[in-house]
């Protein structure tokens, strides 16, 4: 192939395409993970579709390179990718609304595969085609190897910038807008010779103007497109290295979503869940002075714990972004964290317990579901053993999983059965208190256990108000038999 005047710009172009490619890939994975409220299986499907679309694009790009104007195809693919990126994000956020999928509903595998494929194709196909075209346009004998190295170097650079700068400093749509700017600038530089005076001065002016306006445009697009996903006013949306936290507002009530899944609401939380999570385990202990809460504090559990004779409450969240949102949107959050009994901690629960936080009378696992590999680590035998090793004699570990007061289907029954037998293999005794969430009390001491009358007596002695637990204590014996889980 005869080198074109713009061929020497293909090498830096490969670097930019590689950097933008990894940004597009990571941002879309995180966005679609929120859309599908998914886990590692969703990530696997998304990556598989990305590879499929990239491969299809590479084949198409090879055929385009044999045409009469490969450089024109290269430029048009850059322009198409530039505008497709923000549009795909908007489409992903509005997918559930457009397809009539209710908020919080699970997506089927076929829906996940097909929708993610069609959302990724407008970006994966051009990215693969750009690689094939770059290899053909680069005027060197070892052009393919050089383009591959340059694009890989760009991928590494883009990953570092995204991870340590953009992800937790810039909103998603602003990242998309800046990526659009760089791709359009690359298309401009490839299309026009740098010797032209107009191009020499127009390019930096264009970039400066777009960078200045990019933050404003990104913020506006981010807020408006998020309303497609949550159908409520979005007052907070930010990414961290761990996930995405969104806060919506309806009247005076705010709702917290983490990676698209419901976390908590305020200032009127789920009082039933908060009281049952805190009071049943703490009433089962004769003197709970030192308590560890692993996640779930936004849901009103902390004030309920502090109603007991607790001298120290260690509260752990893996993502510091949760602290920031709590301080901003929960009226009494700062007051709670200033309480001398409360010690806020940030980090992975397993690592903190392995390094030794001390020994506790009661350990509470917040209302989490074992819906991903990350969360499943907190429902494993190994984690239960860590908790047991950090409990005082007579200590109690409490956790809950989805249940039902009416009927447990096969999947829920199997989940509860696995949880019961896993806890029973580690602890001396395990009780189950049925509800919409089945609450498990795992005891280190075989003799530990109280009757409903003991719980009522302790409730009276501790002199605190509650609206739910005192009604249920008359119906539940903490010493009673556990429902047959097989």
Distance CA 389, CA 170 (A): 42
Closest CA to 295 of 322, 268, 330: 322
pLDDT digits (tens, 9 = 90+) for 42-100: 999 999 999 999 999 999 999 998 888 888 999 999 999 999 999 999 999 999 888 88
Residue 426 has pLDDT above 50, yes or no: yes
Per-residue pLDDT averaged across 285-302, rounded?
93
Per-residue pLDDT averaged across 220-247, rounded?
90
The pLDDT of residue 78 is 94
Distance CA 101, CA 106 (A): 8
DSSP string, 7-42: GGGHHHHHHHHHHHHHHHHHHHHHHHHHHTT--HHH
Distance CA 423, CA 110 (A): 35
Q: Which residues pair with 140 in a beta bridge?
A: none
Closest CA to 28 of 156, 124, 105, 130: 124
Instruction: Using pLDDT thresholds of 50, 70 and 90, give the confidence band for residue 482.
Output: low
The pLDDT of residue 201 is 64
Residue 388 has pLDDT above 50, yes or no: yes
The pLDDT of residue 473 is 61
Angstrom CA distances, 350 to 278, 317, 353, stand at: 21, 12, 5
Say how far residue 194 (Cα) sits from the centre of its chain: 44
3-state helix, strand, coil in the chain (%, to 5): 60, 15, 25
Per-residue pLDDT averaged across 170-199, rounded?
79
Cβ atoms 444, 418 nearer than 8 A? no
CB atoms within 10 A of CB 253: 13
Residue 471 has pLDDT above 90, yes or no: no
Q: Which domains does the chain have, with CATH numbers?
A: 7-231 (1.20.1250), 266-473 (3.40.50.150)
User: Is it true that the peptide bond before 267 is cis, omega within 30 degrees of 0?
Assistant: yes
The pLDDT of residue 476 is 56
pTM (2 d.p.):
0.87
pLDDT digits (tens, 9 = 90+) for 129-157: 999 999 888 876 777 888 999 999 999 99
Instruction: Using pLDDT thresholds of 50, 70 and 90, give the confidence band for residue 481.
Output: very low
Cβ atoms 19, 84 nearer than 8 A? no
Rg, C-alpha atoms of the chain? 27
Distance CA 103, CA 33 (A): 14
pLDDT digits (tens, 9 = 90+) for 307-325: 999 999 999 999 999 988 9
Angle at 158 between CA 153 and CA 161, to 5 degrees: 130
Find the range with the poorest average confidence among 96-100, 107-111, 448-452: 448-452
Angle at 266 between CA 291 and CA 299, to 5 degrees: 25
- Both tokens of 251, joined, read 């009247």
CB-count exposure of residue 207 (10 Å: 0-12, 13-18, 19+):
middle
Q: Which residues pair with 45 in a beta bridge?
A: none
Angstrom CA distances, 479 to 217, 306, 319, 416, 473, stand at: 60, 25, 37, 19, 12
Per-residue pLDDT averaged across 213-232, rounded?
87
Cβ atoms 175, 159 nearer than 8 A? no
Per-residue pLDDT averaged across 197-202, rounded?
58
Rounded percentage of the chain residues whose pLDDT exceeds 90 = 53
Per-residue pLDDT averaged across 407-436, rounded?
91
Q: Between 480 and 131, whose confidence is greater?
A: 131
Answer positive or negative: Cα dihedral of 352, 279, 382, 376.
negative
CA atoms within 13 A on the CB side of 5: 7
Instruction: Using pLDDT thresholds of 50, 70 and 90, give the confidence band for residue 207.
Output: low
Instruction: Using pLDDT thresholds of 50, 70 and 90, give the confidence band for residue 480.
Output: very low
Structural element, H or E, at residue 388: helix 381-389
Distance CA 393, CA 361 (A): 8
Residue 1 has pLDDT above 50, yes or no: no
Per-residue pLDDT averaged across 28-36, rounded?
92
Average pLDDT, the chain: 87
Closest CA to 172 of 237, 264, 261, 255: 237
- Both tokens of 281, joined, read 């385990």
The pLDDT of residue 478 is 54
Q: Between 21 and 471, whose confidence is greater?
A: 21
* Residues recorded for the chain: 486
Distance CA 317, CA 297 (A): 8
């Amino acid at each position: 192939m005869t080198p074109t005047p713009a061929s020497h710009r293909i090498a830096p172009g490969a670097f930019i395409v590689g950097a933008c490619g990894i940004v597009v890939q990571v941002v879309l994975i995180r966005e679609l993970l929120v859309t599908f409220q998914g886990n590692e299986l969703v990530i696997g499907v998304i990556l598989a579709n990305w590879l499929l679309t990239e491969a299809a694009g590479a084949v198409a790009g090879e055929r385009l390179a044999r045409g009469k104007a490969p450089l024109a195809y290269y430029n048009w693919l850059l322009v198409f990718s530039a505008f497709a990126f923000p549009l795909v994000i908007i489409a992903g956020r509005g997918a559930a609304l457009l397809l009539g999928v209710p908020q919080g509903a699970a997506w089927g595998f076929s829906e996940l595969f097909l929708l993610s494929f069609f959302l990724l194709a407008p970006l994966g196909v051009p990215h693969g085609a750009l690689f094939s075209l770059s290899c053909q346009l680069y005027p060197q004998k070892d052009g393919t190897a050089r383009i591959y190295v340059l694009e890989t170097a760009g991928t590494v650079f883009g990953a570092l910038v995204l991870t340590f700068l953009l992800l937790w400093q810039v909103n998603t749509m602003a990242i998309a807008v800046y990526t659009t700017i760089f791709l359009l600038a690359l298309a401009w530089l490839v299309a026009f010779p740098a010797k032209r005076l107009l191009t020499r001065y127009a390019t930096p002016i264009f970039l400066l103007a777009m960078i200045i306006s990019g933050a404003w445009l990104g913020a506006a697009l981010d807020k408006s497109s998020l309303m497609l996903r949550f159908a409520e006013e979005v007052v907070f949306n930010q990414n961290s290295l761990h996930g995405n936290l969104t806060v919506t507002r309806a009247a005076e009530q705010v709702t917290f979503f983490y990676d698209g899944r419901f976390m908590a609401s305020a200032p009127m939380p789920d009082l039933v869940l908060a009281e049952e999570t805190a009071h049943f385990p703490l009433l089962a202990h004769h003197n709970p002075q030192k308590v560890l809460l692993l996640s779930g504090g936004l849901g009103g559990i902390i004030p309920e714990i502090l109603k007991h004779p607790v001298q120290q409450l260690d509260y752990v969240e893996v993502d510091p972004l949760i602290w920031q949102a709590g301080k901003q949107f929960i009226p009494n959050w700062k007051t709670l964290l200033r309480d001398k009994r409360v010690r806020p901690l940030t980090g992975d629960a397993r690592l903190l317990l392995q390094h030794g936080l001390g020994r506790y009378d009661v350990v509470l696992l917040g209302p989490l579901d074992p819906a991903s590999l990350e969360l499943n680590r907190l429902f494993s035998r190994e984690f239960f053993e860590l908790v047991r090793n950090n409990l005082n004699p007579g200590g109690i570990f409490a956790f809950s999983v989805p249940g039902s007061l009416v009927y447990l289907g096969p999947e829920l029954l199997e989940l509860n059965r696995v949880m019961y037998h896993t806890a029973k293999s580690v602890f001396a005794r395990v009780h189950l208190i049925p509800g919409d969430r089945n609450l498990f009390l795992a005891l280190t001491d075989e003799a530990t256990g109280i009757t409903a009358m003991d719980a009522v007596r302790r409730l009276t002695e501790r002199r605190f108000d509650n609206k739910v637990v005192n009604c249920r204590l008359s119906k539940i014996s903490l010493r009673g038999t556990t429902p047959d889980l097989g």
